[in-house]
């Protein structure tokens, strides 16, 4: 089994390496602190013990294959979700803090996109027909095994945008993208949820929310939101992700 339920982190399962449990506990501490961590959905999942964990020990082929296997297991598990927000299970994919390290936010983002590229390149499932194949266009999102995903790239180089720093490791927080449509879609209720989240980001970071944050359903660019800059400048250049050719 490549996925670790939150309870195994908290009770110290013997399946965990020392660095894995330490990094996971540090992430949970961020969500459990009495301060108003902006994403109350993550906080609620943590409170319910619903967070799943996976670990990547490095950037060698075998390490990335382990991460890919964990992501496959998560996608399959997500297909049976009952649609109740209270039962949603985010995946925290944590990278070894010593072997996957960088000295800037941008360098961590480069690593993150390299990992997503490697997973895409080894994914045997066809790209969903309803999802754009152009990352720089509206209605593109990362897909794996046919499921649309949202990937939050958090890393320890963030000093200003503290809401994207979840401890000493590069961490991907992965959710099926459809869940955002349910709880924060392009509708009056969803707009209210997003506004609440953005107010909490401002209070927590001491910086207004990034203008890169938007709504997939409204046609806003998705890849901008995966890795956020320390400032509120929009990303420059094109998405580093390259779509493979379909057979």
* pLDDT, tens only, 35-71: 788 998 899 999 999 999 999 999 999 999 999 999 9
Number of domains in the chain: 1
* pLDDT, tens only, 160-182: 999 999 999 999 999 998 887 77
* pLDDT, tens only, 84-139: 888 999 999 999 999 999 999 999 999 999 999 999 999 999 999 999 999 999 99
Contacts of residue 124, Cβ cutoff 8 Å, sequence gap at least 6: none
Residue 188 lies in a domain: yes
Residue 233 lies in a domain: no
Say if residues 146 and 126 touch (Cβ distance below 8 Å): yes
Residue 221 lies in a domain: yes
Say if residues 87 and 50 touch (Cβ distance below 8 Å): yes
Whole-Å CA distances, 117 to 103, 120, 136, 239, 243: 21, 5, 15, 11, 8
Residue 239 lies in a domain: no
**Can you give the residue range of the structural domain that contains 17?**
4-225
Residue 237 lies in a domain: no
Residue 243 lies in a domain: no
Residue 166 lies in a domain: yes
Q: What are phi and psi of 151, to 5 degrees?
A: -120, 115
Contacts of residue 178, Cβ cutoff 8 Å, sequence gap at least 6: 148
């Amino acid at each position: 089994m490549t996925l670790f339920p939150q309870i195994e982190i908290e009770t110290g399962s013997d399946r965990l390496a020392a660095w894995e449990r330490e990094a996971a506990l540090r992430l949970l501490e961020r969500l459990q602190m009495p301060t108003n961590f902006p994403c109350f959905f993550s906080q609620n999942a943590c409170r319910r013990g619903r967070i799943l964990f996976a670990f990547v020990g490095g950037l060698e082929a075998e390490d990335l294959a382990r991460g890919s296997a964990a992501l496959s297991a998560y996608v399959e598990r997500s297909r049976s979700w009952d649609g109740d927000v209270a039962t949603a299970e985010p995946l925290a994919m944590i990278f070894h803090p010593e072997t996957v390290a960088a000295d800037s936010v941008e360098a961590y983002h480069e690593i993150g996109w390299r990992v997503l590229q490697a997973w895409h390149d080894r994914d045997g499932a066809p790209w969903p027909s309803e999802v754009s194949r152009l990352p720089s266009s509206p209605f593109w999102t990362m897909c794996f095994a046919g499921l649309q995903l949202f990937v939050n790239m958090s890393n320890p180089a963030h000093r200003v945008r503290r809401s994207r720093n979840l401890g000493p490791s590069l961490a991907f927080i992965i959710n099926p993208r459809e869940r955002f449509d349910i709880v924060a879609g392009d509708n009056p209720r969803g707009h209210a949820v997003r506004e609440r989240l953005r107010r909490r980001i401002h209070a927590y970071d001491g910086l207004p929310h990034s203008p890169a944050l938007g709504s997939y359903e409204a046609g806003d660019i998705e890849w901008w939101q995966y890795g956020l800059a320390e400032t509120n400048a929009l990303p420059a250049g094109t998405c580093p992700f390259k779509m493979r050719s379909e057979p």
